[in-house]
Chains A and B, each alone.
Chain A
Amino acid sequence: GENVEQHPSTLSVQEGDSAVIKCTYSDSASNYFPWYKQELGKRPQLIIDIRSNVGEKKDQRIAVTLNKTAKHFSLHITETQPEDSAVYFCAVAEGNTDKLIFGTGTRLQVFP
C-alpha cells in the first residue's frame, strides 16, 4: 500500500517568513494530493490540493508543488501570520481510490 512521509514534524518561523513542508509517497499510480490544516481541537480542513496533471498550484499565500518523477510534493506558505499556526497534514489518495493516506503532520508555530 501507499506510504507517506512528512517532514519536518515541527516548524517555528517568525511572522512574515515563509514555511515549507515536504512529503514523499511510494505509489507512482497515486494522482491526488491534498493538504489539510487542523487547528487545536478542531476538524481537519482542506487548504489546497493538486492533481498529477499539474506541477504547481497557488491560492493566495499558499502554494503546492508536485514532482511526480521524484514522488514528492511540498506546501509553501508565504508571509506567514500567527493564525497560520496549526498542524498541517499532507495526504495521498491511494492509487485510483478515495482512500486518503495521511502524513504524520507538521506542527507550525508562527511567532509574532
Chain B
Amino acid sequence: DSGVTQTPKHLITATGQRVTLRCSPRSGDLSVYWYQQSLDQGLQFLIHYYNGEERAKGNILERFSAQQFPDLHSELNLSSLELGDSALYFCASSATSGTHNEQFFGPGTRLTVL
C-alpha cells in the first residue's frame, strides 16, 4: 500500500458523459500527478500539481481538467467522454517538486466508456 488513495476503483459510463476521479496523496506530500495507462499508448503523463498550483502539463485533452484543493486532494474531470478514453487512470504523489522525489502511485481508477 503506497498511501495514495483513489476513488472510485471502477467506473463504467457512456459516451458523452462526464466523470470525476478523486485522489488523496500520501500524508505530507504536496505534489500530485495524473497518468493515463492504455494498451496502445502506455503510461502517459497528464498533469502535475504542487500545493494547489499547476506545475506541468502533458498531452492532456481540452476535455480533461484537474485541480488540487487546499487539503491537497486532487480531482481529474473528464467530459464529453469517448470510447478511446477507456483506460486506467493513476494518481501519484511525491513530497515536493523539482527535486525528483519518488512518485508513489495509487491503485488506479479503471474507466470504461461504452
A contact residues vs B (CB 8 Å cutoff): 31-32, 34, 36, 42-46, 49, 51, 89, 93, 96-105
Interface centre among B44, B100, B103 (most CB of A within 10 A): B100
Interchain CB contact under 8 A, B2 and A100: no
Most B Cβ at <10 Å: residue of A34, A46, A51, A103: A46
Chain B interface residue bracket vs A: 20 to 34
Establish whether residues B90 and A44, one from each chain, have CB atoms under 8 Å apart when the complex forms.
Answer: yes
CB-CB under 8 A for A98 and B105, given A44-B90, A104-B42:
no
- Specify which of B31, B58, B90, B100 is in contact with A51 (CB 8 Å cutoff): B100
Given A98-B98, A104-B42; 4 other pairs, CB 8 A cutoff? A99-B56, A99-B58, A102-B42, A102-B43
Q: Which residues of chain B have a CB within 8 Å of any CB of chain A?
A: 2, 31, 33, 35, 42-45, 48, 55-56, 58, 90, 94, 97-98, 100, 102-108
Q: Assess the B100–A98 pair: CB atoms within 8 A.
A: yes
Q: How far is the CB of A98 from chain B (nearest CB, A)?
A: 6
